[in-house]
Amino acid sequence: MSRPICARIDFTALRHNLNVVRNLAPQSRIWAVIKANGYGHGLLPVARALSGVEGFAVSSLEEGLCLREGGVRTAVLVLEGVFSREEVPQARQADLELVVHSEWVLEHLEAVKKITDWPRLWLKIDTGMNRLGFPPSRVQSIYPRLCSLSREPPGLMTHLAMADRPGDPMTRIQMDHFDEATRGLPGHRSLANSAALLNFPRAAADWIRPGLMLFGVSPLESVPAETLGLEPVMTLSTALMAVKPVKPGDAVGYGATWQAQRNGWIGIAAAGYGDGYPYHAPQGAPVRVGEGICPLIGRVSMDMIAIDLGPDPQPVGAPVILWGKGLPVEQIARCSGTIPYELLCGVAQRVRHEWRGFPVTEPQADHAASHCTLPL
């Protein structure tokens, strides 16, 4: 047996979630957001399983090229644009669509004089999040510069900061700023991430940009994924590699932060922060062992965690689920003081991925390829 930790990726669930997304905005096209190695699920396998979407959104040129090298022909949108002039011809050659979010990105594009035939560029507008984008007041002057670089009218996009809070006025204010800034300009519009798709139907526009939801995770704190009809795509599992009895007073792990109160059994599972399990998972965090839920005890090590098995032992090799089917990653994130996004895309490279439920050719080779050009 090799080290048993494994991220099982269920493509049937992924396709199911895509349908849920489609039904929420049937009139919109979909940029499936698969940045950060497909939120940790494997860039290329995920792209192949999501065939049928109108496009894929990634963060960098490297990720875009990875898709092209893997044979993906669908539209690809690079959310962070280019970082240098050198990237401009590469991006054009690979037929990528770029987000132009700042003056200096536009200057890089304009500096490469011979490339004025971009299929489409996207003008990003900062409507209040104060991350990327031009201020609304500059849209009218930036827009024609993009027009002269591309064949199609520029796409118009913004990002919403508070879309997970339906009651907060900020999203409506952002959408109003967007409408005002883009009034009368031709071009496709795109505003909605997963949370906006659920909370603000008005944000759907021409293209939606769902990420997290596709992976079966709820973007809303108060609504479980199950209620939204979503199914978890990743199940991070491992096995018990040691089982031992403890008696009152016995301490477990670094810092001896947990001590047994009574006679019982503990299990050591092969998973730690070196695999992407959060170091800040507290004592009592739920871990699925066999058919039951047991509490995490002691500190998380790099390669191991300890689990309180209670009065009865479990066999070495008993299956352990850290998150996924039967144990939502949202729950682990919440108790560890983080967000599910971080846990999913933080699954370490050393964790074996297994893809199931959808025909994908040579998934193991794909996995290697899915990391091929990601910067280290």
Ligand X SMILES: *Cc1c(COP(=O)(O)O)cnc(C)c1O
Q: Which of 244, 254, 279, 325 is catalytic?
A: 254
Residue 239: strand, helix, or coil: strand
Least distance (Å) from ligand X to the CB of residue 265? 40
Q: Which of 35, 124, 143, 273 is catalytic?
A: 35
Q: Which residues have a Cβ under 8 Å from the Cβ of 144 and sit 6 or more positions away?
A: none
Q: Between 209 and 288, name the residue whose CB sits nearer to ligand X.
A: 209
Q: Between 212 and 304, name the residue whose CB sits nearer to ligand X.
A: 212
C-alpha torsion sign, points 154, 160, 161, 164: negative
* 325 classed as catalytic: no
- Radius of gyration (Cα) for the chain, nearest Å? 23
Binding site for ligand X (CB under 6 A): 33, 35, 79, 159, 193-195, 209-213, 219
- In whole angstroms, what is the distance from residue 285 CA to residue 333 CA? 10
Q: Between 342 and 354, name the residue whose CB sits nearer to ligand X.
A: 342
* 35 classed as catalytic: yes
Q: Between 128 and 298, name the residue whose CB sits nearer to ligand X.
A: 128
φ/ψ of 322, rounded to 5, equals: -90, -40
User: What region does 14 belong to: left with phi over 0, alpha with psi -120 to 50, or beta?
Assistant: alpha
Least distance (Å) from ligand X to the CB of residue 193? 3
Q: Could you tell me the maximum CA-CA distance found in the chain, to the nearest angstrom? A: 76
Least distance (Å) from ligand X to the CB of residue 170? 16
Residue 365: strand, helix, or coil: helix
Least distance (Å) from ligand X to the CB of residue 332? 17
Please say whether the beta carbons of 85 and 108 come within 8 A. yes
Residues annotated as catalytic (active site), given as ranges: 35, 254
